[in-house]
Amino acid sequence: MWQILAVVAISAAGGQALSGVKENPWLALPLGVLAVVLAVLVYRWVVGRTERRPVTELARHGARGALLRGALIGTVMFACVIANLFFLGDYEVHGYGSLSGALALLGFMAGAAATEELMYRGLLFRLVERGAGTYLALVVSGVVFGASHLLNENATLLGAVAIAIEAGGMLAAAYAATRSLWLPIGVHLGWNFAEAGIFGAEVSGSGGTHGLLDVSISGPELITGGEFGPEASVYAVVIGALVMLAFLWLAHRRGHIVPRKRAARADALVALAR
């Protein structure tokens, strides 16, 4: 309970602070970095104190490489979504957007990626997995993560279902494969920043964005995601599902899958963090 309260509190505080300055790159970028640092420190402290163990899922060793690999994976994934929309004629670039807007989004997205991964993968997925096994934990955390996006401004049921699969399931699988939160944090940041900061698309039905490109997206909702944005596109779901399966294969190969009958031993797997 203390873990959840602490992470929710720091996430809410960081979210409120970033929401107030997200149009100002000179404030949003450093505040985003500060939000990441504070969230990580709070998570390490409260989990270490309550579970009386080294918090290896946020180990310093290898963190930079995992973040960069994750960011590259997330960026490439969303670039594939946009490429499909572009070749169908549903994504049109009108010119350059705003560099300052993109920098502000980078700070905002960094804070959001870190706090959401700590909450949904670091706590929800990990704690459910301990009692119910990897696969059920993946489903539960994915559904909760998707449902949380129904609170967004332009939320749709299709968007929430898409998020549950392509993000909730995929990011949980990334954690299961590595037993580290750094990779899913990087994937989450790369995906969101590519979507809004680079390609100028709406993120998860949360309203307009000001990225590097000035674009318009039109076409069938199933293809483009409609008001929710391209994350509700069938292409995003397929790409996210394929990456999820790849991570689950890797988790199985490394012996990181926790069957339900052995779920009580999940804590031992944290020691396998790479």
pLDDT in tens, 94-106: 999 889 889 989 9
pLDDT (tens digit, 9 = 90+) per residue, 38-97?
999 999 999 999 999 999 999 999 999 999 999 999 999 999 999 999 999 999 999 998
HSE, side-chain direction, 13 A CA sphere, residue 256: 22
Whether 123 contacts 4, CB under 8 Å:
yes
Q: How far apart, in whole angstroms, are the C-alpha atoms of residue 133 and residue 263?
A: 5
Can you name the residues that pair with 91 across neighbouring β-strands?
A: 217
Q: How far apart are CA 192 and CA 152, in angstroms?
A: 15
Confidence of residue 18 (pLDDT cuts 50, 70, 90): confident
Please tell me which residue, 271 or 6, carries the higher pLDDT value: 6
pTM recorded for the entire structure: 0.91
Q: For residue 93, what are the β-bridge partners? A: 215
DSSP assignment of 44-82, as one string? HHHHHHHHTS--GGG-STTHHHHHHHHHHHHHHHHHHHH
Determine contact, residues 179/269, Cβ cutoff 8 Å.
Answer: yes
Q: How far apart are CA 178 and CA 256, in angstroms?
A: 8
Does the pLDDT value for residue 185 go beyond 90? Answer: yes
145-159 pLDDT, tens per residue? 999 999 888 889 999
| pLDDT > 90 fraction of the chain, expressed in percent and rounded | 75
pLDDT at 207 over 70: no
- For the chain, what is the radius of gyration of the CA atoms? 18
The tokens of 126 are what? 């990990």
CB 266 within 8 A of CB 126: yes
Average pLDDT on 181-186 reads 98
- Predicted pLDDT of residue 21: 74
Give the pLDDT confidence score for residue 274 in this predicted structure. 46
CA distance readout (Å), 44 to 58, 62, 181: 7, 16, 12
Residue 25, pLDDT score: 78
Domain parsing of the chain, residue ranges: 2-272
Q: What residues contact 92, with CB distance under 8 A and at least 6 apart?
A: 215, 216, 217, 218
